[in-house]
Amino acid sequence: MIPQVTEFRRLHELGCFVIPNPWDIGSARLLVNLGFPALATTSAGLAWSVGRRDNEISLEVALAHLRTIAACVGVPVNADFEDGFATEPEGVAANVTAATATGIAGVSIEDSTGDKAAPLHDFVLAADRVRAARRAIDESGTGVLLTGRSEGFIAGRPDLAETIRRLEAYAEAGADCLYAPGVRSAADVAAIVRAVAPKPVNVLVGGDYFSVAQLAEIGVRRISVGGALARAALTGFLNAAKEIAGQGTFTALSRTISVPELNGLFSGIGRHGAC
């Protein structure tokens, strides 16, 4: 078991930590420099960085991205592995096996289908997919931490009872951590934490509706931000570019961090691994 996996597992044992989501080497290294103890990739941020929509990247692109980010930082990296890039459990297992070889410390598997008419995998199939991922990790001998995600709240099926039923099934199938993105009610989060205890819960925060202290008080162990940091960066970029294109002025550029400041931040990080 690599040190990052050991550390990632330790982080989930007690307390609450934030695991922000970079989209490239630079953003990953800046987050490490700010003191975050672990990182998670973002499928949306990666997709936007290569000019695609979320869920439009290939397995090969995703695996290459995981290798790049894991090699360039010294902290644990969790993989946003979407739906495992497969429908059937056998395909999920094969792809998770490939992911465990990239240097990641954790991997997440979703139950969404991308089909608006049936946005979630059948309950039994969804649990079997998590079970297949668990088997693949165990056979890899890496100890990578497995997160089971139920996507109902962001896929048009915001049913708390069904979400909890699925998360409990994923815990039974071998998920180490449980995650239901899109849940914004403190009462709903608390219900999820109670239902899957003592296993840790990840909560997604993409806006000003929770604080770290509030979620820690509820018993949440891990907080991620998904594509929100990438959205924040692209918002600043677009606002400045629109001003230039539409008004011919450059006031937004005067509010940016300076080149010497940025160079200083990156020079203070140092190189890691293959970077």
C-alpha 7 chain-centroid distance: 17
CA dihedral angle for residue 209, residue 200, residue 228, residue 8, rounded to 10 degrees: 140
d(CA 176, CA 137): 11
Domain of residue 123, CATH code: 3.20.20.60
Establish if 146 belongs to a structural domain. Answer: yes
Report whether pLDDT(270) > 90.
no
Establish if 272 belongs to a structural domain. Answer: no
Asked if the peptide bond before residue 198 counts as cis, ω within 30 degrees of 0, the response is yes
Secondary structure of the chain as H, E, C letters: CCHHHHHHHHHCCCCCEEECCCCCHHHHHHHHHCCCCCEECCHHHHHHHCCCCCCCCCHHHHHHHHHHHHHHCCCCEEEECCCCCCCCHHHHHHHHHHHHCCCCCEEEECCECCCCCCCECCHHHHHHHHHHHHHHHHHHCCCCEEEEECCHHHCCCCCHHHHHHHHHHHHHCCCCEEECCCCCCHHHHHHHHHHHCCCCEEEECCCCCCCHHHHHHHCCCEEECCCHHHHHHHHHHHHHHHHHHHHCCCHHHHHCCCHHHHHHHHHCCCCCCCC
pTM of the model: 0.96
d(CA 3, CA 66): 17
Report whether pLDDT(272) > 80.
no
Domain count, the chain: 1
Report whether pLDDT(82) > 90.
yes
Establish if 135 belongs to a structural domain. Answer: yes
Query: What's the confidence (pLDDT) of residue 27?
Result: 97
pLDDT tens profile 104-162: 999 999 999 999 999 999 999 999 999 999 999 999 999 999 999 999 999 999 999 99
Percent pLDDT > 90 in the chain is 96
- 28: containing domain: 3-267
pLDDT tens profile 209-258: 999 999 999 999 999 999 999 999 999 999 999 999 999 999 999 999 99
Establish if 186 belongs to a structural domain. Answer: yes
Query: What's the confidence (pLDDT) of residue 146?
Result: 99
Establish if 274 belongs to a structural domain. Answer: no
Q: What is the mean pLDDT of residues 177-200?
A: 98
> Which residue(s) pair with 79 in the sheet?
107
Establish if 256 belongs to a structural domain. Answer: yes
Please answer whether residues 82 and 43 qualify as being in contact, where contact means their C-beta atoms are separated by less than 8 angstroms. yes
d(CA 45, CA 39): 13
d(CA 180, CA 221): 13
Nearest to 120 by CA among 93, 70, 85, 157: 157
> Which residue(s) pair with 89 in the sheet?
none
Q: What is the mean pLDDT of residues 69-73?
A: 97
Establish if 197 belongs to a structural domain. Answer: yes
Query: What's the confidence (pLDDT) of residue 199?
Result: 98
Please answer whether residues 136 and 93 qualify as being in contact, where contact means their C-beta atoms are separated by less than 8 angstroms. yes
Query: Which is more confidently placed, 30 or 266?
Result: 30
Query: What's the confidence (pLDDT) of residue 1?
Result: 87
